[in-house]
Amino acid sequence: MPKFLDLTSRKFGRLVVIQRAENDKWGSPCWLCRCDCKKIKIVRGAYLKNGVIRSCGCLFREGNNIKHGYYRKGKVSKIYQSWRDMIKRCTNPNNASYQYYGGRGIKVCKRWINSFENFYKDMGKKPEGHQIDRINNNGNYCKSNCRWVTPK
């Protein structure tokens, strides 16, 4: 059986662990957490440690908001998915592609990391069937090093 690990006062994404909660119905350890937005949420310890849950849900709602104008019929746009996936590859060690991007030191520029709007202004509309490409494969994601290309 794994050794008990006290998560009290540790921060995971936007969540700070307040105290231990009761195990869930499967017997997994759970924790009472406070989100940066002040909401309280009970979360499985494993989900905190592996990054599956990083907020009370506010992070998801912010990432899927309508304010950028490219959210249609219950789905995020292809260009928004490209922006979001680019950030995940470079910042999330749990992402399957992290070792090839963030793990190699590839970063997303400050202008794009927290602003889909800036990314869209710099890259323009994503052509159908295209994907983002770095001109210099060892360079970071930024306006001067990125373009839309076909998979070929």
pLDDT in tens, 85-141: 999 999 988 889 999 999 999 999 999 988 888 999 999 989 999 999 999 999 999
pLDDT of residue 13: 85
pLDDT tens digits for 51-74? 788 888 887 776 544 445 555 556
pTM exceeds 0.85, yes or no: no
The rounded distance, in Å, linking the Cα atoms of 37 and 30 is 20
